[in-house]
Structure 1
Amino acid sequence: MANVVLYVMAKQNVETSQSDVVLADVASIYCEDETARAKAAALKIHKFKRGGASRVVISIMWVIEELTKLNPGITVECIGATDIIIEKASFQKDTQNSKRSFGEWIKVILVALICFCGSGFTIMAYHNDIGISDVFARIYELVTGQTSDGCTALEVSYSIGLAAGIIAFYNHVGGKRMSADPTPLEVEMRNYERDVNQAIVEISDRNGKEKDIN
């Protein structure tokens, strides 16, 4: 099969509910030869066994080797991830899913409370550390000539500005975005996911569990 180029753009991390995983489940495939593309898409790359490991790491080099065995003479161009992490997801019954959803809501509420209380304590500790109440009282007295009662235009405007700044920084008002840009938290989560995926690949390779060419 000369002069036929198969393009494979593999995903880095894929979750599947199927026991038999084919290449089309983990990658986008393009080839001008529709027969070659269909054969590549149907290539079985892994089978999850009952009671076995629920995660596997596959090197793109192994995929290339299998594709060239399937279509001798074909040229494979990989433009995606160099290692593919596949995880077997276990989907439970609807009743179990509803219980799981309730449990997840409890976790979300607990995390939200911890973040709220922790953030509030941090802000209060910072304000206490710099003595912001004394600063505001001094500024108010210098500007107006009157003694501050602790709740003046300075405190009110500062509180509103602090809340507005937090909303603008996190790019969210309730469940709505203020812009299409990702939030700082989303950026950090993507960085964290990338680091976790890299660690999974390296550990799998170090332990000799990655599916790779000999």
Structure 2
Amino acid sequence: MASNERLYIRLRHRVQVQPKQHVYFGDVAQYIVAPDLEQRLRQILIHTVTPEDKHLIVIDVMKVIERLREAVPHLEVEILGPNQTILEIVYPQKSPKFVLVLFVWILLFIGSGLAIMNFHEDVSMLAVHQRIYKMITGMEEPHPLWLQIPYSLGIGIGMILFFNHVFKKRLNEEPSPLEVEMFNYQQSLDQYVVMHENKEVEKKLNDNT
């Protein structure tokens, strides 16, 4: 093989794997290489999942390059994108118990309802509705239902539009604020895992020296 054979790789950000799975180069990276090397590189073993790996594994690009060079010594590697990929070990999950799901649903329903009612009490929403009713009709009404009922329905519709979901059905392709926050949290968590792994590697190297 010519000494100027070049490989361009981009590590995937996060890959889900199974316990005891063999993880190959084609699983953790996107790459461009000469056609005669493509299949050979795809089957290079990068890592084997063991029980000691627990839940998350950080694969550094240096380990990937080391495995590639063992198989193809004169390979020139160009790295594009992140320098680490995270392997998330997915264990079989048990179906949630109906009683537990019902308990959590009731707890969230009551808690959110109390939160809304306490907020309305703090801002004197009833008094506001009564004042609006008097401004429009000129009459006193202790329970202006024709204002309160549409307002209550509007809260529910507004929550559906805000979270962009009706049960599992998405209303449109735009992500909801909750999904954006979860994405930001996942990004921060992944960055912490990578940084923590780097510190652990440095600590091991210092201990060995």
Q: Which residue of 2 aligns with 1:52?
A: 52
1:102 matched to 2:96: yes
Q: Which residue of 1 aligns with 2:23?
A: 21
The count of residues paired between Structure 1 and Structure 2 equals: 202
- Return the TM-score normalized by structure 2: 0.82
Q: Which residue of 2 aligns with 1:10?
A: 11
Give, as a single letter, the amino acid of the residue that structure 2 aligns with 1:157.
P
Equivalent residue runs for 1:83-94 within 5 Å: 83-91=84-92
- Unpaired runs of 5+ in structure 1? 92-96
- Return the TM-score normalized by structure 1: 0.81
* Comparing 81-90 and 131-140, the one that deviates more: 81-90
2:199 counterpart (179, 190, 206): 206
User: Is this contact kept in 2: 1:58–1:211, CA < 8 A?
Assistant: no
- Unpaired runs of 5+ in structure 2? none
Equivalent residue runs for 1:47-196 within 5 Å: 47-49=48-50, 51-54=51-54, 55-91=56-92, 100-103=94-97, 108-196=101-189
CA distance in 1 between counterparts of 2:32 and 2:202 reads 29
CA distance in 2 between counterparts of 1:52 and 1:170 reads 39
Q: Deviations over 1:139-167 (max 9, x none)?
A: 21122122213142211221122222111
Shift of 1:211: 11
Q: Which residue of 2 aligns with 1:30?
A: 32
Residues 122 and 7 (structure 1), Cα distance of their counterparts in 2 relative to 1, 3 Å cut: same
Query: Over aligned residues, Cα RMSD in angstroms?
Result: 2.6
User: Is this contact kept in 2: 1:36–1:71, CA < 8 A?
Assistant: no
User: Is this contact kept in 2: 1:59–1:211, CA < 8 A?
Assistant: no
For residue 30 of structure 2, give the secondary structure of its aligned residue in structure 1. strand
Shift of 1:75: 2.6
User: Is this contact kept in 1: 2:61–2:83, CA < 8 A?
Assistant: yes
Q: Deviations over 1:99-121 (max 9, x none)?
A: x1133x65554444343333222
CA distance in 1 between counterparts of 2:21 and 2:166 reads 41
User: Is this contact kept in 2: 1:23–1:42, CA < 8 A?
Assistant: yes
Q: Which residue of 2 aligns with 1:39?
A: 40
> What percent identity do the matched residue pairs reach?
32
For residue 179 of structure 1, give the secondary structure of its aligned residue in structure 2. coil
Q: Deviations over 1:11-40 (max 9, x none)?
A: 222221243221112222322x22322222
Shift of 1:191: 1.3
Q: Deviations over 1:114-142 (max 9, x none)?
A: 43333222211111111010111122112
Residues 210 and 24 (structure 1), Cα distance of their counterparts in 2 relative to 1, 3 Å cut: farther
Residues 61 and 110 (structure 1), Cα distance of their counterparts in 2 relative to 1, 3 Å cut: farther
CA distance in 2 between counterparts of 1:67 and 1:117 reads 57
Q: Which residue of 2 aligns with 1:94?
A: none
CA distance in 2 between counterparts of 1:39 and 1:210 reads 35
